[in-house]
Amino acid sequence: QVQVVESGGGSVQAGGSLRLSCIHSEYITASYCMGWFRTAPGKERVGVVLIGREGSTSYADAVTGRFTSPNDNANNTLYLQMNSLKPEDTAMYYCVAESRAVALEVVVPGTGRGLEVWGQGTLVTVSS
C-alpha cells in the first residue's frame, strides 16, 4: 500500500520542542514529494512544509526558522522537528505524500485538498 503513518504528537510548553515522525511505505519513493499540513482549532487546514521531488523545500512563513523536516530514507521516515513552539502551533498535524509534480509555493499556503496520500493525523498542543 501507498501510505503514511504519523506519530509523536503531544503536549508541550511554549518555547519547547517536539519531533513528529512519519513512517512511509516502500512504495513511496524519491519520485514523491512529501511534507506536513496542519489544522488548528477553528481554522482551515494549511501547509507547514513540502519537499519537492528535486529536493526543493517550501516552508510556511509561520514556521520558517523554527521547523525543519529531515528525511531518513534508510528507515522510511520523514520527521518534523518543531522548535520554539508557540500556542498558535497547536493543531492536528498530517503527513502527506504526492506523486504528481506540484508547485510548492502554491500548495503550501493552501488546504492541500487533492494531495494523494494522507496520514491519520497526530495532535500537537502547545500551552502558554
Task: Read off the pLDDT of each residue in 90-99 and give the average, rounded to a whole number.
Answer: 96
Checking if the pLDDT of 81 tops 90, the result is yes
Q: Give one DSSP letter per residue of 73-119, joined into a string.
A: GGGTEEEEEE-S--GGG-EEEEEEEE-S---HHHHTTS--TT-SEE-
Task: Let me know the angle formed at the C-alpha of 48 by 86 and 119, rounded to the nearest 5 degrees.
Answer: 110
Question: What integer best gives the mean pLDDT of the chain?
Answer: 94
Confidence label for 51 from pLDDT (cuts 50, 70 and 90): very high
Confidence label for 26 from pLDDT (cuts 50, 70 and 90): confident
